[in-house]
């Protein structure tokens, strides 16, 4: 156990976790209503929580807009001159936006979107690299009540296309091209390929991250209007009214991988999401007015929504964004950014930590990291040795608390997480956040008891929980509420993770139990990768599993049955890997391919990935009574 320093507890918003937790779960509605009252509402809610299986609705009939709370309200006081966004490019170019300046650009883009006919409820796809315009775009959409769908810039055009089509997006915001290490990535080319057959798209706005302008083949895209960001914005007013939103109106869709071939559109709200993200940012990172939060995520993922964009701005602090990767042009780049820009909170992933460990302790020791006060980890289980390295080399053993925050795209906010005032165990994400009851259960929903592995479930709703899956309520119900057999309609949310609770009530996350693979913290579905593989004419069948990997957490192994007369070869392996990269993106690169004659299946023909995995890792195979052969 690592106990917090008395100074840390003294300055923390929360000094006694257990006491506040007890109150929060006996009075959840009062607890969350108090948090909501720290924010501004156009109209108060009539009911804090309404649960009707399978939907929880928070702050019912309340009216607000998350952007009003991120921007508008700070303009009324000195906070308007504080830095909202501090952006550092790969070449250390700096762009600074105070709250007032950020608001101005957001208003201009919001007016521009309105001029293009974007109305409340319309979808806008944001396919941008990590540049200020990415955040400005999200806020501008939310301001006018449009629903943003941010697609990670590393996704391929196929993946982008699926997401545009599913959301039926009217407008796409993209970049011409951008630097990534020593390469230049052409986003516009990918965007054009994606929108060729997307009739919903009316307009495309192009940000010139790199100075040259790209020519648009107007003949192919005669039905789509193209605009240059700077030109479009220069014509717009810097004032724009903020749309009044119902607390349960959708704020954004974020696509994530599940157990089927198609990604799911997780929908979050203006009201509940805002309250949950506001409070967790404030208490977990112990935010005070002058804090600078450096998260290494990308707004293409949920962390970039909740703790790079909305959380920091709702708390009126500065979000520090570094455009590129930790080890380019040299392995000390993140530490250099910390020395130079002096963030107080540093939030990253176990994969990044493990990758940096390989460069040795000498690298971080050359830099002044003394501005840091709190460290954070997210995305996958952090192994105790990586935790200890982080503690020693980045925390400099000066006892900086490490917040190992467990949550998901669906939860929107931290769910099982330490607070700076609690004793930590390396590798455990501590206990549930306020108002949340979590447990580890068997397939019938019965608690398994201490130190036993089981399914991680949440037994109470929380304000930032997903509203639904975009246009797929049935999938929503099945995925989160029907996996566990139970007789009542009581709230029981299935996380898809396996976990254990120890004698002290600390949670230990083991990993996913549902064919979702976490490669470098990125969520990929086995089925998605398999569909990319079987799209190749030479492949008859494919099965994909995740295997433990010392740096990436998990790596991908594919078992392939080739069509008759097709010969296995190294070249074919390369070709298949390329197929997957085209279909999903470089994050889905396959590490190992094995050509096989047969795959383990159930009598109904479903591939049993669990059996493949057990065999591969030499683990007990478990129940194989349904195995056909």
378 binds ligand WT7 (CB under 6 A): yes
Q: What CA–CA distances, in Å, run from 472 to 267, 336, 504?
A: 11, 45, 39
402 binds ligand WT7 (CB under 6 A): no
Closest separation in Å from C-beta 328 to ligand WT7: 23
**In terms of Cα–Cα distance, which of 267, 254, 302 is closest to 469?**
267
Q: Which stretch binds ligand WT7 (CB under 6 A): 27-35, 187-195, 329-337, 402-410?
A: 402-410
Quick one: which of 431, 512, 552, 613 contacts ligand WT7 (CB under 6 A)? 512
Residue 395: how many CB atoms within 10 A of its CB?
A: 21
439 binds ligand WT7 (CB under 6 A): no
Quick one: which of 111, 153, 296, 409 contacts ligand WT7 (CB under 6 A)? 409
**In terms of Cα–Cα distance, which of 342, 284, 352 is closest to 315?**
284
Quick one: which of 406, 430, 470, 506 contacts ligand WT7 (CB under 6 A)? 406
Residue 584 main-chain phi, psi, to 5 deg: -115, -55
Quick one: which of 174, 296, 405, 428 contacts ligand WT7 (CB under 6 A)? 405
Closer to ligand WT7 at the Cβ: 31 or 455?
455
The pairs formed by 257-260 with CB atoms below 8 angstroms and a separation of 24 or more are 257/516, 257/523, 257/524, 257/525, 257/528, 258/475, 258/479, 258/514, 258/516, 258/525, 259/479, 259/514, 259/515, 259/516, 259/525, 259/526, 259/527, 260/475, 260/525, 260/527
Quick one: which of 122, 286, 404, 468 contacts ligand WT7 (CB under 6 A)? 404
Closest separation in Å from C-beta 497 to ligand WT7: 5
Closest separation in Å from C-beta 379 to ligand WT7: 4
CB 480 within 8 A of CB 472: no
Residue 18: how many CB atoms within 10 A of its CB?
A: 10
497 binds ligand WT7 (CB under 6 A): yes
Quick one: which of 157, 407, 455, 470 contacts ligand WT7 (CB under 6 A)? 407
**Site size for ligand WT7, by CB under 6 A?**
22
Quick one: which of 275, 302, 345, 588 contacts ligand WT7 (CB under 6 A)? 302
Report which secondary-structure segment, H or E, holds 486.
none
Closest separation in Å from C-beta 111 to ligand WT7: 33
303 binds ligand WT7 (CB under 6 A): yes
Closest separation in Å from C-beta 409 to ligand WT7: 3
Q: Which stretch binds ligand WT7 (CB under 6 A): 118-126, 181-189, 300-308, 334-342?
A: 300-308
148 binds ligand WT7 (CB under 6 A): no
Q: Which stretch binds ligand WT7 (CB under 6 A): 81-89, 295-303, 529-537, 586-594?
A: 295-303
Task: Work out whether the CA dihedral 418, 420, 423, 427 comes out positive or negative.
Answer: positive
CB 68 within 8 A of CB 245: no
556: left (phi over 0), alpha (psi -120 to 50) or beta: beta
Which residues lie across from 456 on neighbouring strands? 440
554 binds ligand WT7 (CB under 6 A): no
380 binds ligand WT7 (CB under 6 A): yes
- Hunting for tokens 């089925």 — which residue is that? 527
CA 22, distance to chain mean position in Å, is 29
Q: Which stretch binds ligand WT7 (CB under 6 A): 174-182, 331-339, 492-500, 582-590?
A: 492-500
CB 113 within 8 A of CB 235: no
Which residues lie across from 500 on neighbouring strands? 508
Closer to ligand WT7 at the Cβ: 395 or 521?
521
Q: Binding pattern to ligand WT7, positions 226-265, x when CB under 6 A?
A: ------------------------------x---------
Which residues lie across from 204 on neighbouring strands? 172, 226
Closer to ligand WT7 at the Cβ: 80 or 305?
305
The three-state secondary structure class of 613 is: helix
298 binds ligand WT7 (CB under 6 A): no
Report DSSP state, residue 84.
E
Quick one: which of 84, 369, 509, 519 contacts ligand WT7 (CB under 6 A)? 509
Q: Which residue is nearest to ligand WT7 (CB)?
A: 409
408 binds ligand WT7 (CB under 6 A): yes
Q: Which two tokens stand for residue 462?
A: 């929380």
Closer to ligand WT7 at the Cβ: 58 or 494?
494
496 binds ligand WT7 (CB under 6 A): yes
CB 264 within 8 A of CB 154: no
Angle 359-363-369 from CA coordinates, rounded to 5°: 135
Q: Which two tokens stand for residue 221?
A: 């895209």
498 binds ligand WT7 (CB under 6 A): no
523 binds ligand WT7 (CB under 6 A): yes
Quick one: which of 4, 304, 379, 435 contacts ligand WT7 (CB under 6 A)? 379
For binding to ligand WT7 (CB under 6 A), which residues are involved? 256, 301-303, 378-381, 404-409, 429, 495-497, 509, 512, 518, 523
């Amino acid at each position: 156990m690592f106990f917090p320093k008395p100074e840390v507890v003294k300055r923390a918003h929360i000094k006694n976790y257990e006491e506040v937790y007890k109150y929060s779960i006996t009075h959840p509605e009062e607890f969350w209503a108090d948090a909501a009252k720290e924010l501004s509402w156009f109209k108060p809610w009539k009911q804090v929580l309404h649960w009707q299986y399978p939907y929880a609705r928070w702050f019912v009939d309340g009216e607000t807009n998350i952007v009003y709370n991120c921007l508008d309200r700070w303009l009324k006081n000195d906070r308007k001159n504080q830095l909202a966004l501090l952006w550092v490019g790969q070449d250390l170019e700096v762009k600074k936006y105070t709250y007032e300046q950020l608001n101005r650009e957001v208003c201009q883009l919001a007016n521009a979107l309105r001029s293009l006919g974007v109305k409340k409820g319309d979808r806008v796809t944001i396919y941008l690299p990590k540049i200020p315009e990415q955040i400005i775009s999200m806020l501008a959409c939310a301001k006018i009540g449009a629903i943003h769908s941010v697609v990670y810039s590393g996704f391929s055009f196929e993946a982008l296309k699926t997401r545009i089509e599913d959301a039926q997006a009217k407008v796409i915001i993209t970049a011409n091209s951008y630097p990534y290490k020593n390469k230049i990535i052409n986003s516009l080319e990918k965007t054009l390929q994606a929108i060729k057959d997307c009739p919903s798209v009316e307009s495309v706005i192009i940000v010139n991250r790199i100075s040259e302008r790209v020519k648009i083949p107007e003949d192919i895209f005669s039905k789509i209007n193209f605009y240059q960001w700077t030109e479009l914005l220069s014509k717009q007013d810097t004032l724009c009214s903020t749309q009044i939103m119902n607390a349960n109106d959708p704020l954004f869709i974020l696509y994530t991988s599940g157990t089927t071939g198609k990604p799911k559109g997780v929908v979050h709200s203006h009201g509940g999401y805002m309250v949950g993200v506001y409070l967790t940012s404030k208490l977990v990172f112990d935010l005070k007015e002058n804090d600078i939060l450096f998260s290494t995520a990308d707004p293409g993922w949920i962390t970039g929504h909740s703790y790079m964009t909305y959380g920091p701005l709702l708390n009126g602090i500065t979000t520090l964004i570094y455009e590129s990767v930790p080890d380019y042009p040299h392995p000390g780049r993140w530490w250099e950014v910390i020395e130079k820009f002096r963030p107080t909170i540093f939030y990253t992933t176990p994969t990044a930590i493990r990758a940096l460990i390989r460069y040795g302790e000498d690298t971080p020791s050359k830099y002044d990291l003394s501005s840091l006060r709190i460290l954070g980890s997210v995305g996958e289980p952090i192994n105790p040795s990586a935790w200890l390295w982080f503690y020693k080399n980045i925390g400099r053993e000066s006892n900086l608390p490490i917040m190992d925050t467990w949550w998901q795209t669906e939860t929107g906010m931290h769910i099982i997480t330490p607070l700076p005032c609690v004793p930590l165990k390396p590798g455990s994400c501590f206990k549930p956040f306020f108002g949340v009851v979590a447990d580890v259960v068997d397939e019938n929903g019965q608690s398994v008891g201490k130190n036993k592995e089981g399914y991680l479930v949440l037994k109470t709703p929380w304000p930032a929980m997903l509203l639904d899956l975009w246009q797929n309520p049935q999938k929503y119900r099945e995925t989160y509420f029907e996996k566990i057999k139970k007789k009542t309609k009581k709230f029981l949310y299935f996380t898809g993770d396996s976990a254990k609770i120890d004698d002290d009530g600390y949670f230990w996350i083991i990993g996913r139990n549902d064919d979702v693979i976490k490669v470098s913290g990125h969520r990929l579905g086995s089925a998605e990768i398999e569909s990319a593989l079987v799209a190749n004419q030479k492949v008859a069948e494919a099965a994909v599993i995740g295997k433990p990997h010392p740096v990436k957490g998990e790596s991908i192994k594919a078992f392939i049955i080739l069509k008759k007369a097709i010969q296995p070869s190294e070249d074919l392996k390369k070709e298949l890997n390329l197929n997957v990269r085209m279909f999903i993106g470089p994050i889905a690169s396959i590490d190992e391919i094995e050509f096989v004659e047969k795959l383990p299946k159930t009598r109904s023909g479903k591939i049993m990935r669990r059996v493949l995995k057990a065999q591969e890792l030499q683990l007990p195979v478990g129940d194989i009574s349904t195995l056909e052969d």
